Amino acid sequence: MLGRLRYEVESESMNEVVKQVHSRIRSLKPYTVREVGDDIIKMDKNENPYDLPESLKREITEAAAKRSWSRYPPIVASELHEKIARYTGWIPEGVIAGNGSDEMILMILMSFLGEGKRLVVPTPSFPMFTYIATLIGATVVQVPLNDDFSYNPDALSDAFLDGGDLLVICSPNNPTGGLFPLDRLEDILERTTAPVIMDEAYYEFSRVTALSLVEKYPNLIIFRTFSKAFSLAGQRIGYGLMSPELAVEIGKVKLPFNIDVFSITAAMRLLENTGILGETIEGIIRERDRLIRSMNQIEDVTVYPTASNFILFRTPYESTSVCDDILRDGILIRDLSANPALRGTLRVTTSRPSDNDRFLGSLSRIMNERGRG
Ligand SMILES: *Cc1c(COP(=O)(O)O)cnc(C)c1O
């Protein structure tokens, strides 16, 4: 063993090497989210508040323990692809699983984009698409949503058909919750062979999918994830559904062994037990609707429609300070004010009934105090 290294590179030579990191990367702001301790109720990341049942976790751990940990996982997680195919109704040859759908985003963007290529995205939307496109030197064309945060299909369609190389639509959109109309998606697909991604990370809550269109339009790719409704954010599994021919090409971009033995096991066991999730998901949807009704009754709170497990809302106050006030009550929600288009807005994820009650109590107290102050 070496003794503890003392890192004393002169600052000048360090700057020299840092300068050699690609300018695209140096100009990016690190992607971060606020981290808090376990004593805080987390309603900020759109996760499922319910962990998997203890018995299923044990089953997964035992199944993973039976596999050799000294051996690589399969190069392609074909068994998992089979199970995803059965769950979605798609064909296994058209499934690719990734280390979270974030890795799917990376694979697809690397496959279609690069310098001089144009990604068309609505804004505000999930920032990872713009982040990765910037990383790989593509040009990002951002198309604003309507003032009420609903999609503007005409504007998006016009921007894409005017030389776009890839279009990404999150439906339901994160962080706004709105759906993109499927008939308008089909209009776009009728008019171009350029690739379109529908990110359906919240499909299990919205129950709206464009999957049936993939058969007719091989330039359509669907993304889903195990991180939200499926309670597996900690295991990092996402997947893409696409034409088998396209899957062959995208498969070349995927790093070998990209999903570890444990995550593959967890995802497969979960797909054999989706029954246990049905009730949880129903419950979350009911709670979300209760949250919306109650938030609508709080003075100064404006709630935007959502087809997901989270709710975007606005208050007349500066959202960072509202978020901090709610955190002082032990609840973390997402302050979205970093994006100028979202100034004044916050996003809250539906949690357990008792958590939701605490959030409602906190929000109404804070609005009440500010209203009087
Ligand atoms: C959460 C989220 C993802 C990322 O999912 P992972 O599978 O955890 O990487 C992708 N897209 C959208 C729209 C999301 O909200």
Q: How many CA atoms lie within 13 A of 215 on its CB side?
A: 6
Which residues make beta-bridge pairs with 168? 197
Whether residues 113 and 230 share a domain: the answer is: yes
Pick from 273, 291, 325: which residue ends a domain? 273
22 lies in a domain? no
Note the pLDDT of residue 288.
98
Read off the pLDDT of residues 106-121 as tens digits, 9 standing for 90 and up.
999 999 999 999 999 9
Q: Is there a contact between 225 and 194 (Cβ–Cβ < 8 Å)?
A: no
**303 C-alpha to center of ligand 1: Å?**
22
SS3 352: coil
* Domain annotation covers residue 14: no
Per-residue pLDDT tens over the stretch 167-193: 999 999 999 999 999 999 999 999 999
Q: Is residue 47 domain-shared with residue 63, that is, in the same domain?
A: no
Q: Over the stretch 299-319, which tens digit does the pLDDT of each residue have?
A: 999 999 999 999 999 999 999
Q: What confidence score (pLDDT) does residue 114 get?
A: 94
In this prediction, residue 30 carries a pLDDT of: 87
Confidence of residue 35 (pLDDT cuts 50, 70, 90): confident
97-118 burial code (b ≥16 CB/10 A, e <16): bbbbbbbbbbbbbbbbbeeebb
Q: What is the CATH number of the domain that holds 357?
A: 3.90.1150.10
Report the CATH number that the domain containing residue 222 is assigned in CATH: 3.40.640.10
**For position 269, what pLDDT does the model report?**
95
- What is the whole-number distance in angstroms between the Cα of residue 174 and the centre of ligand 1? 9
φ, ψ of residue 64 to 5 degrees: the values are -65, -35
Asked, for residue 59, whether it belongs to a domain, the answer is yes
Q: Is 100 among the domain residues? A: yes
199 lines ligand 1 (CB under 6 A): yes
Q: Do 199 and 341 fall within a single domain?
A: no
Residue nearest to atom 14 of ligand 1 (CA): 201
Q: Are residues 101 and 43 in the same domain?
A: no
- For the chain, how long is the longest CA-to-CA vector? 65
Q: Is 173 in the pocket of ligand 1 (CB under 6 A)?
A: no
Q: What percent of the chain has pLDDT over 70?
A: 96
- Predicted confidence at residue 371, as pLDDT, reads 87
Domain end (from 254, 273, 292): 273
Averaged pLDDT score across all residues of the chain: 94
Is residue 6 situated within a structural domain?
no
Q: Are residues 264 and 279 in the same domain?
A: no
Residues 59 and 201 in one domain: yes
In the predicted structure, residue 11 carries a pLDDT above the cut 70: no
Give me ligand 1 centre to Cα 227, in Å: 7
Closest CA to 59 of 254, 265, 256: 265
Q: Is the CB of 174 under 6 A from ligand 1?
A: yes
- Tell me the pLDDT band of 373, cut-offs 50, 70 and 90: confident
- Give the domain extent around 309: 34-52+275-372
In-domain check, residue 17: no
Place of tokens 């994006």: 339
Instruction: Scan for tokens 């190069």, then name that residue.
Output: 75
Whether pLDDT at 215 is above 80: yes
Query: Are the C-beta atoms of 105 and 275 separated by less than 8 Å?
Result: no
Does the Cβ of 122 fall within 6 Å of ligand 1? Answer: no
Ligand 1 center–CA 224 separation, angstroms? 8
Find out whether the beta carbon of 113 lies less than 6 Å from any atom of ligand 1.
no
The rounded percent of the chain whose pLDDT value lies above 90 is 89
User: Which of 273, 305, 329 corresponds to the end of one domain?
Assistant: 273
Identify whether residues 66 and 47 lie together within a single domain.
no
How confident is the model at residue 13, as a pLDDT? 65
Q: How many domains does the chain have?
A: 2
Asked whether residue 192 is domain-assigned, the answer is yes
Q: Ligand 1: which residue has its CA nearest to atom 5?
A: 101
Query: How sure is the predictor about 70, in pLDDT bands with cuts at 50, 70 and 90?
Result: very high
Same domain, 43 and 106: no
Find out whether the beta carbon of 227 lies less than 6 Å from any atom of ligand 1.
Answer: yes
pLDDT at position 44 over 60: yes
Ligand 1 atom at minimal distance to the Cα of residue 173: 13
Which tokens is 72 given?
């690589």
Asked if pLDDT for residue 165 goes beyond 80, the answer is yes
Quick: pLDDT tens for 249-294: 999 999 999 999 999 999 999 999 988 888 899 999 999 999 999 9
352 with 260, same domain? no
The closest-lying atom of ligand 1 relative to the alpha carbon of residue 125 is: 13
The pTM of the full predicted model, rounded to 2 decimals, is 0.94
Which residues fall within 8 angstroms of residue 323, CB to CB, at 6 or more apart?
A: 333, 334, 335, 346
Alpha-helical (H) ranges within 89-148 are 100-112, 128-135
Residue 2: pLDDT band by 50, 70, 90 thresholds? low
Query: Does 252 fall in a domain?
Result: yes
- Are 209 and 319 within one domain? no
Are residues 359 and 233 part of one domain?
no
- Indicate whether 140 and 248 sit together in one domain: yes
